[in-house]
Structure 1
Amino acid sequence: MTRVSRRALLGGLLTTPLLASCTGTTTPPLPLAAGEPGGFYVEFGELLASALAAAGLPAAVVNTGGSVDNIERLRDGTAALGLVLTDIALAARNGDEPFGVPVPLRAIGRVYENYMQLVVRAEDPAVSAADLAGRPVSLGAVGSGAAVFGDRLLAAVGIAADVTRRPLRDAVTALESGSTDALLWSGGVPTPALAELAARRPVRLLPLAEHLPQLRSRHGDVYGAVTVPADAYGPAAPVPTVGVANLLVCTSALPPATAGAVARTLVAAAPDLVPESALGTQYLDQRSLIGTGAIPLHPGAVAAYRELHG
């Protein structure tokens, strides 16, 4: 029996945009690169995969390290779709670090707002990111958008810290045990793993919006001001932080018919694509879906949106 690589399998899939129902055969599910267990990427990805399957286009959610990892999988052909922070997508398209060479990304749509969440134990004396100078902090998993943002944040604040790179679950354990003083997470609100932590012991978020001028001067207007709602993780006031839009992306190798089918599903299934726990701002309407900025829409998605709304 001949072994088929994941890349060869996906290559065959990308040449067949939809299920070949008329011949009685099916194609493998589209690999959807999502994120870490316990995060919003996976929650959203699972909802989207269910909606795509209902529309006749099966998809399989793949757990990953996050935005950087997802783009690498798109580049090497082991994913067909990926959830990516806009700042990381721009870095990839421009060939900036950590990618080295440009990645020809195309967007299917802008799907929701991502919240940068810098979490400390409730009794910690820190009141701002600057108070973490020299202290142990976990700035996202290897391959995540949070890891890239964490480095940018420290540079903007002008401090050095004792940085580790931990997946979310490991970072939560480290914060709870006291082996790290803060963790940075990039995701929806409330993030389930953080809500579970807050239910066991009090935590709070440090404000990050005060660093927006420095971040925007260095990296452009991909970063904006958002507010984590009051009581998102237990009794607390609203916290001003940094938001980044999330994109559902692919490469130009995705057939137009497939890209169009995904775009139509985003519009048709929008009410079913927001996890019940989510308090943060959600997009998923025609006007915001097409607002992908410098990342161009896939031609198949453009055709689908025009077909739906002219």
Structure 2
Amino acid sequence: MTFDLARRGLLATAMAAPFIRAAAAQSTFEWVAGSLGGGWYTMAAGLASLVREENPQIQIRVVPGGGLANPTRIQNGQSQMGWGIDAFTAAAFKGEEPYTFAHPKLRSLGTGYSPTDHYLLGRADGPSDMREILTTRALKLATPQRSSTDEMSAQRILRFVGTSPELIRASGGRYLNGSYNDIASAFNDGQVDYVYIALARPAALLTEIAQGRRAAKLIAFPDDIRTHMKATFAYSEASVPPAAYPTLLSAPIMVTAMDSVVLVADTTPEPVAYAIARTFIRNKGQRLSTIHASMEAYDPLTSWQYTGCPLHPGAARAYREAGAMPA
């Protein structure tokens, strides 16, 4: 019996050796996050540090990116992991609009890490109707870079209400793209009157503007716009309470919303994906929320159920061992 157990142990070690060698061969992984100054970048840096703390053999380097482009970077092997958006990741995996080809190499470590609200912020003395604002002549609007899901979402809404960046510019307005820091500065300096962003709550950019020299307010998303974004593009919706941004809101508002997915390539060694997912699961709750308040929403019981792309086998093992996923 003792010899048989020893032989089984040697056999298991031999079978695991290729995975161990693969993990050792690439001990540094690149995590493509969001823009500098945004919540995604902060969260990725905090999670990378947490993973390194519990798994010294895994080093993660965080680089800027955007929700729209990140799946393609992972598909093409430019980055080994990254943040994705639920609806856009599903479109990328299938090769549906706005993507022109399928991304079959995408795998997930689950979703629900950071529910993301969409915001239209405007000058305090301006109108409060989103449609009126977006169709006003000479509108001055800022959004993040074109590689971001923020900007793609803004364009979808503009198209739905009958306008576009080109029409805004043609009417004497301004449609400005830049980093979160750039567009916050543009609003504070009066270069634009409105900002469209998608950030996890609490959004540092909004907190910064709320404390700035220019009075501002958040605009509610009308029912028809939210319905269109849900029915056509698989977004969700959320209610933002005044307590989240006291100087920008006097009553709750409904907004379009989406959620974050941690993506890895299908070539990620099983032990690496397992170790990273296990670290997230073990630190759910207070530890994750200290990295970013929105991450308190992460729930392993539902995280693994995301179907936009396949769950990595290593992550599946971690969720099963934690009792979150059926055997």
TM-score, structure 1 normalization: 0.85
CA distance in 1, matches of 2:246, 2:103: 41
Structure 1 pair 27–297 and aligned structure 2 pair: CA distance change class (3 A):
closer
Hey, what does 1:143 align to over in structure 2? 147
Sequence identity percentage:
24
The question of whether the paired residues in 2 share the 8 Å contact of 1:120 and 1:206 is answered with yes
Runs of 4+ with >6 A deviation: none
Q: Counterpart amino acid of 2:229?
A: L
| Structure 1 residue 276 displacement after superposition | 6.2
> Is it true that 1:199 corresponds to 2:199 in the alignment?
no
The question of whether the paired residues in 2 share the 8 Å contact of 1:33 and 1:61 is answered with yes
Hey, what does 2:12 align to over in structure 1? none
| Structure 1 residue 136 displacement after superposition | 2.3
Q: Which has the larger radius of gyration?
A: 2
CA distance in 1, matches of 2:321, 2:315: 10
CA distance in 1, matches of 2:107, 2:291: 29
The residue correspondences of 1:8-23 to structure 2 (distance < 5 A) are 16=21, 18=23, 20=24
Hey, what does 1:226 align to over in structure 2? 238
TM-score, structure 2 normalization: 0.81
Hey, what does 1:274 align to over in structure 2? 289
Residue-by-residue CA offset, 1:92-118 (whole Å, 9 max, x unaligned): 112123331111221111112111111
> Is it true that 1:306 corresponds to 2:320 in the alignment?
yes
Structure 2 counterpart SS, 1:67: coil
Residue-by-residue CA offset, 1:24-78 (whole Å, 9 max, x unaligned): xx854211111112211012111111111012122111122x1123223212212
Structure 1 counterpart SS, 2:114: strand
> Is it true that 1:95 corresponds to 2:107 in the alignment?
no
Hey, what does 2:275 align to over in structure 1? 261
The residue correspondences of 1:111-190 to structure 2 (distance < 5 A) are 111-133=113-135, 134=137, 135-161=139-165, 162=168, 163-190=175-202
Hey, what does 1:10 align to over in structure 2? none
Hey, what does 2:34 align to over in structure 1? 35
Identify, as 1 or 2, the structure richer in helix: 2
The residue correspondences of 1:50-129 to structure 2 (distance < 5 A) are 50-56=49-55, 57-64=58-65, 66-104=66-104, 105-110=106-111, 111-129=113-131
Hey, what does 1:248 align to over in structure 2? 262
The question of whether the paired residues in 1 share the 8 Å contact of 2:67 and 2:84 is answered with yes
Q: Counterpart amino acid of 1:273?
A: L
The question of whether the paired residues in 2 share the 8 Å contact of 1:34 and 1:62 is answered with yes
The question of whether the paired residues in 1 share the 8 Å contact of 2:47 and 2:291 is answered with no
Structure 1 pair 37–260 and aligned structure 2 pair: CA distance change class (3 A):
same
The question of whether the paired residues in 2 share the 8 Å contact of 1:140 and 1:150 is answered with no
Structure 1 pair 256–246 and aligned structure 2 pair: CA distance change class (3 A):
same
Aligned counterpart for 2:221 among listed residues 188, 205, 208: 208
Gaps in structure 2 of 5+ consecutive residues: 1-18, 169-174
How many correspondences in the alignment?
287
Structure 1 pair 224–188 and aligned structure 2 pair: CA distance change class (3 A):
same
**How well do the aligned residues superpose, as a CA RMSD in angstroms?**
2.2
Structure 2 counterpart SS, 1:115: strand
CA distance in 1, matches of 2:309, 2:222: 25
The question of whether the paired residues in 1 share the 8 Å contact of 2:86 and 2:308 is answered with no
CA distance in 2, matches of 1:292, 1:282: 18
